[in-house]
Structure 1
Amino acid sequence: MIKHNTSGTFLKNVFIAITIILGILSSISPVWPDSPVEPRVGMLLVFTALIEILHGFRRASAEDRKSAWFSSAITIIFGILLINASNIIGKALVIFIGISFLIDGIRYGIEAFRNFKRSEKYIFQILAMIGNISVIAVIIFANRFGTEWIIAITGAWRIFGTAIGIFHAKEGKFETSGEDVIKSLGLPDTESVNNAVKKIRAEETARYPADKSWIILFLILLFIIHLGRMGFDKTSLGLLSPGVALFGDIVVALIITFGIITPLRAMFKKITGPIIRKLWIWVDKVPADERKKYGLRNFVNRYLEYRLRVSIRIRNAGYSFKSAFMTGMQTGLPYAAILAAIIPVFGMSWYFDTENWAAGIWDSWAASRTDNWRMAITRSANEPPGPDAFRIYPEGVSDNSDFSFIVIGDPGEGDASQLVLKDQIQIVSEKPEVKFLVISTDIIYPSGEMKDYENKFWLPMKGVYKPVYAIPGNHDWYDALEGFTATFFEPKAAYDAMTARVNSDLKLSASTPEHINGLINEAARLKENYKVPVGFQRSPYFQIQTEKFAFITIETGVVRKIDEDQMKWLKDALEASKGKYIMVLIGHPLYAIGEYQGDLNPDFQAIHQLLRDHKVNLVMGGDTHDLEYYVERGFGNDPASVMYHFVNGGGGAYLSIGAALKPADEMPEKEWAHYPATDPLINKIEANNNILKEPAWYWTKNLGGWPFNAEFLSAAFDYNNSPFFQSFFEIKVSPSNGTISFIPYGVNGRLQWKDIETSGNVIPADKTPGSDVEWVYPLNAN
């Protein structure tokens, strides 16, 4: 029988204390500085679920363990929904929060009814049912305070409920796991069965050191493989990314073991249970010392012992996290290692390649620090305030001259999807009228580190001899903008900027003066070797001005907001640009994936309103990896008002599919276009999909990924083979004839109207489907 431990153990009390702290943090999350509430509470919920999973292994009965793991599964789903809240449609998030509590409430109600029928205690289950269902009332009541407080309160409610569940749970021991397995499987009480249990217990104890050794060796080898593929920047933090990849391998191994193999074995065990019981009886008819060494009974006995060994391991895993971990590694680690070895062969994957998981950690870290870092960086430049602050003067650009420039969005994966544009970028950049290039956001995936610049920036850009400027994206901030700063800033400005950033973190950083100089020297070495002109900036944002044209960049960091210094600079630049055609290049687009993005947070909405107030002509943004076009009309009580919006993020990263799969009648504006067109994109995906991806593709294509959007799984359907749908823009500023033109290029040259999906009312009347795409506007102020 299972031995119950009803007293509170030290570890149990630690679990409870940690969970209570997480609940308190959730309840006050709306008053924390910086970054959105949803992903913050989502991470707290995921941590809570992990604690409940760990404690579930210690619970006394199979029913209690299943209850803990079912509850933790709901909590993880709740957390994942919050972490991906920006991809969730409308009120679906609040609805799913309510549904998750309702499901758990019903589950507790069923448990209470079962306990009542068995004359067991059921008060706790009744209270838990009431607590979960009452959350719906909390959601309705808290609605008046806004979604952030709903999320904070319900998240805290869930976490505190987990703490109560851990306090109430009974813990078990695994000294009698063999006997428990015999009883649960209904095996006969025979000499063979009992001897097998004793033998297995002795062998498992004896082989534990050997198993532990090969698992440790396996993990060391995996870490070295990750370290070799990801590189090491000679700092303590340089070990973190491969460490996270190794942790991902461990998680994958546990999922394979307990999420795939164990359930399949359980099904097989249930089907074959009666046969196994009869085989044990048959084997025991002949004593062990009388069986033939190579006889059938000995063969069957070894198979039955193997089955029993697996069952005992799984049962031990149910009583102890240590045993669960060892079982998970013994069974799943070889499969996880195979997956780690072959995943990079299939190209970029955020979900299945554990080497990209560290980016999620850096995202949370950078989100809370970006504004402080940016202000420290820009203040270190000692730029005189005023309308000309952080102004760049490209050679060949003057008040009255015609000129062109190139904007490339989100290029930095370094694989086929980036390299396929290399020839076209070189061809266009060699035009005499092209004076400079701008890379708009996410120069380097996944974490903006200097060690990735050679393969993902310098090699793809080799052959470009015009000045290259850039504004960083969220991924570039993941290394505190060090790789970006060393590459695109003037050397002295780069040193001052990185030093100021370190000081803003109270020098709690691995970036020593030697490390900073090393980054700057590495950038200088690469510039000398590849001859790509960079190193002209003193800030992550800048402006270029002529008499009739203003080009202003807005650097929106990780969470679509700017700091107070950049806001003051932006207002000054916009004010000084009155009377000109104003083009804004922004870090995150205001329209993307067939949806309006400006209402994702109040800060981003305030930026949009500022651009409206200053009558900006056109806004172009990267971040989303395709080409999109929208016309915003009739805002600010002015029916004649108009602002044009481009998404220009198809420069090399995995392709975004949200806009292409958006129904035409759900587009946010009446005039729109996107590339790739829907049919060619679907044809490519379906030609490359395998049977494992078909359910996810059906959900994405036919159900729009609801409650998320179709964009949610874009990376899962990105294939690095032809046809490619990457793109970039040439912008022609022509004061001589009073026009500005926006010309998109694909992998084989200029795009034609037949390549692009449109609302039908954006194609000029004098153009045919075979005409080159070109948006031409008067070079006038709005």
Structure 2
Amino acid sequence: PYQDYQAPIYAIPGNHDWYEDLGAFMRVFCDDAPPLAPEPAPRPLSRAWLRSLLWHRPRKDDGQHLAEDRKSRSAAVQQAVQPGPYWAIDAGPIRLIGLDTGLLGTIDAEQGAWLREVSKDPRPKILITGQPLYVDGEHHPCAIEGGGTVDEIVRDPAHRYVAAIGGDIHNYQRYPVQVDGRTIQYVVSGGGGAFMHATHTIPRVDVADVTEKEFRCYPLRGDSLAFYSRLYGRRLRMRRFFTLTEAEAAAVIAERLDIRPGRAPASDARVTWRMRLVAGLLGTGRRPDRAKRFRLPVRKIYTQLFSPSSETYSPPFFKSFLRLDVTPETVRLRCYAATGNRAQEADPPVEDEVLISLA
């Protein structure tokens, strides 16, 4: 899909890249690893055999496929060999810094020392990490081996960070956090290609003085709840009970979280006992004063077992991608929806937009 993109592509590893010790990532993006040797067939019913059912093993023709794929991006302007899994790129008025947060969302002492050093540059900076620092209404500052956190470095006014963008979670979220009189945009942007992580499970946001008024997400919670209600209705063969319309889902979430819905619900969207029960079973977020109740596995267990196989090929897809346009004075950050609808393919809708000052 990127053969006509006339620019180099740089990457940071996600947690899945570490499932094979970063070998494939280093070979593709850093040109720094030989082809992996094919492995012998594991003994049936062994741990290696079970693992082989869930993950790819090296094959004899892997190198040939990579060589053929590279021919599709052979132009000089498309070439890039990055020095490693973490890097800094000076892009005009800003510095982009990419971190490798590994499997556990932490960095080692060596990468931490490097981050502190490259953060001393006087230019405004944008951090890009494998795992986000704010997500689902929670703060994950990313510990550094030996002491300190990544977020402490980001918040230091001398380092001039204006945004921190993380992936891992397959949706879009934005938290504009006030730090010493300036705003740092903490963004989750992981909705590019995999199955959708629910947003309706995000509780009422109140973290680092960011409330529901400032918080943004895509898909909207109502659309997320409606999507999962159809999914569970189909899987459990209980469509009449589970299925909620987008208007019904938005109305019950507004009541449950005591918030204004992202879009105005239909005038006839009356919240019923069934809607409240379905919302609760599907893990819809709550106000902090509400007790936890039984819910179906819509996050961890569902993600591990069902979500990858529940990818839909019928629009809307609720995918998204992030675009940043930089001038000497500002960064324009926009989240675009990738719905799968032909009418929106050439002109994708903007779901969120913010202008960041570099002054």
Q: TM-score, normalization: structure 2?
A: 0.66
Q: Deviations over 1:449-506 (max 9, x none)?
A: xxxxxxxxxxx4444342111111110111111111111113xx334x999xxxxxxx
Amino acid at match of 1:675: Y
CA contact (8 A) 1:662 1:710 kept: no
CA 745–534 in structure 1, closer or farther in 2 if over 3 Å, else same = farther
Q: Separation in 2 of the partners of 1:706 and 1:542?
A: 44
> Does residue 741 of structure 1 match 2:344?
no
Provide the C-alpha distance between the structure 1 equivalents of 2:140 and 2:278, rounded to a whole number of angstroms: 25
1:544 matched residue in structure 2: 89
| Equivalence for 2:252 | none
- Secondary structure in 2 aligned to 1:484? helix
1:526 aligns with 2:119: no
Residues 707, 544 of structure 1: alpha-carbon distance in 2 compared, 3 angstrom cutoff: farther
Which residues of 2 match residues 110-149 of structure 1 at below 5 A?
none
Aligned to 1:595: 138
| Counterpart position of 2:202 | 662
TM-aligned CA deviation for residue 703 of structure 1: 7.1
The correspondence for 2:111, drawn from 566, 570, 576, is 566
Residue 44 of structure 2 is matched in structure 1 by none
**5+ long unaligned stretches in structure 2:** 38-57, 243-276, 287-291, 339-343
**Cα distance in 1, alignment partners of residues 94 and 59 from structure 2:** 37
Give me the CA root mean square deviation. 3.4
Cα deviation 1:193-233 (Å, max 9, x = unaligned): xxxxxxxxxxxxxxxxxxxxxxxxxxxxxxxxxxxxxxxxx
> Could you tell me how far 1:675 is from its partner in structure 2?
0.4
Instruction: Report the equivalent of 1:683.
Output: 226
Residues paired across the two proteins, number: 274
Quick one: which amino acid aligns to residue 596 of structure 1? H
- In structure 2, the CA distance between the partners of 1:526 and 1:582, relative to structure 1 (3 Å rule), is same
Partner of residue 159, structure 1? none
The residue type equivalent to 1:620 in the other structure is I
Q: Deviations over 1:320-372 (max 9, x none)?
A: xxxxxxxxxxxxxxxxxxxxxxxxxxxxxxxxxxxxxxxxxxxxxxxxxxxxx
- Determine whether 1:485 maps to 2:26: yes
Aligned to 1:284: none
Task: Please say if residues 487 and 520 of structure 1, whose CA atoms lie closer than 8 Å, have aligned partners that are also in contact.
Answer: no
Q: Which residues of 2 match residues 76-95 of structure 1 at below 5 A?
A: none
Pairing partner for 1:728 from 321, 326, 350: 321
Residue 309 (structure 1) aligns with: none
Query: Residues 64-463 of structure 1: matches in 2 within 5 Å?
Result: 460-463=1-4
CA offset at residue 751 of structure 1?
A: 3.1
Q: Do the aligned partners of residues 682 and 548 (structure 1) sit closer, same or farther apart at CA in structure 2, a change above 3 Å counting?
A: same
What is the distance in 1 between the residues matched to 2:36 and 2:326?
35
Superposed CA deviations along residues 123-168 of structure 1, whole A, max 9, x for unmatched, are xxxxxxxxxxxxxxxxxxxxxxxxxxxxxxxxxxxxxxxxxxxxxx
- What residue ranges of structure 1 are gaps of 5+ in the alignment? 1-459, 500-514, 756-772
| CA shift in 2, pair 1:702/1:587, >3 Å | closer
User: 2:300: which partner in 1?
Assistant: 712
Q: Conserved in 1, the CA contact under 8 Å of 2:129 and 2:166?
A: yes
Query: What is the DSSP-based 3-state SS (H/G/I as helix, E as strand, rest coil) of the residue aligned with 1:468?
Result: coil
- Point out the structure with the larger strand share: 2
Counterparts of 2:131 and 2:85, CA distance in 1? 14
Equivalent residues in 2 for 1:11-26, closer than 5 Å: none
| 3-state secondary structure, aligned to 2:223 | helix
Aligned to 1:617: 162
1:368-422 C-alpha deviation (Å, 9 max, x unpaired) = xxxxxxxxxxxxxxxxxxxxxxxxxxxxxxxxxxxxxxxxxxxxxxxxxxxxxxx
2:33 aligned partner, one-letter code: A
Structure 2: distance between partners of 1:698 and 1:546? 46
- Cα deviation, residue 516, structure 1: 11
Contact 1:556–1:588 under 8 Å retained in 2: yes
Q: CA, structure 1 residues 518+719, in 2 after alignment: closer, same or farther (shift >3 Å)?
A: closer
SS at match of 1:467: coil
Once the 2 structures are TM-superposed, how far is the Cα of residue 550 of structure 1 from its aligned partner?
0.7
Structure 2 counterpart of 1:700, from 282, 290, 293: 282
Give 1:728 shift. Answer: 0.7
Aligned counterparts of 1:750 and 1:550: Cα–Cα separation in 2: 28
Structure 2 residue identity aligned to 1:692: L
- Cα distance 1:606–1:706, how it changes in 2: closer, same or farther (>3 A)? farther
What is the alpha-carbon distance in structure 2 between the residues aligned to residue 630 and residue 568 of structure 1? Answer: 27
User: C-alpha offsets along residues 630-649 of structure 1, whole Å, 9 cap, x if unaligned?
Assistant: 01114xxx3x1432111010
| Shift in CA distance, 481/556, structure 1 to aligned 2, threshold 3 Å | same
* Counterpart-to-counterpart distance in 1, 2:59 and 2:283: 47
Rounded to whole Å, the distance in 2 between the matches of 1:568 and 1:623 is 24
CA contact (8 A) 1:587 1:623 kept: yes
CA distance in 2, matches of 1:719, 1:518: 28
User: How big is the shift at 1:711?
Assistant: 3.2
1:751 aligns with 2:349: yes
1:584 paired to 2:127: yes
SS of the residue corresponding to residue 687 of structure 1 reads helix
8 Å CA contact 1:583–1:617 kept in 2: the answer is yes
Kindly indicate which of the two structures has a greater share of residues assigned to helix: 1
Match of 1:470, SS?
coil
Cross-structure match for 2:98: 553
Look up the match of 1:776: 355
Change in 2 beyond 3 A, CA 1:707/1:534: farther
- How far apart, CA to CA, are the structure 2 residues paired with 1:592 and 1:564? 24
Partner amino acid, structure 2, of 1:470: A
2:183 to 635, 642, 645: 642
Give, in whole Å, the separation in 2 of the partners of 1:545 and 1:744.
23
The structure whose Rg is larger is 1
Change in CA separation of 1:554 and 1:482 when aligned onto 2, cut-off 3 Å: same
Whole-angstrom distance in 1 between the partners of 2:108 and 2:236: 44
Residues 108, 144 of structure 2: 8 Å contact kept: no
Aligned counterparts of 1:719 and 1:530: Cα–Cα separation in 2: 29
Letter in 2 for 1:527: R
- Alpha-carbon distance change, 534 to 480 in structure 1, aligned in 2, over 3 angstroms: farther
Tell me if the contact between 1:627 and 1:674 (Cα under 8 Å) persists in the aligned partners. Answer: yes
Does the CA contact (< 8 Å) of 2:205 and 2:215 recur in 1?
A: no
Match for residue 260 of structure 2?
A: none
> Which residue of structure 2 lines up, in the alignment, with residue 494 of structure 1?
33
Question: CA deviation digits over 1:627-680, x for unaligned, max 9?
Answer: 10001114xxx3x143211101000111111x4332435566222100001112
Give the match's secondary structure for 2:282.
helix
Map Cα deviations across residues 568-592 of structure 1 (whole Å, 9 max, x no partner).
22111101x22x2110101110011
Pick closer, same or farther for the CA change 1:703–1:543 going to 2, 3 Å: closer
* Paired residues of 2:98 and 2:127 also in contact (CA < 8 A): yes
Query: Conserved in 2, the CA contact under 8 Å of 1:725 and 1:746?
Result: yes
Q: CA deviation at 1:564?
A: 2.2
Q: Is residue 485–residue 498 contact of structure 1 (8 Å, CA) maintained in 2?
A: no
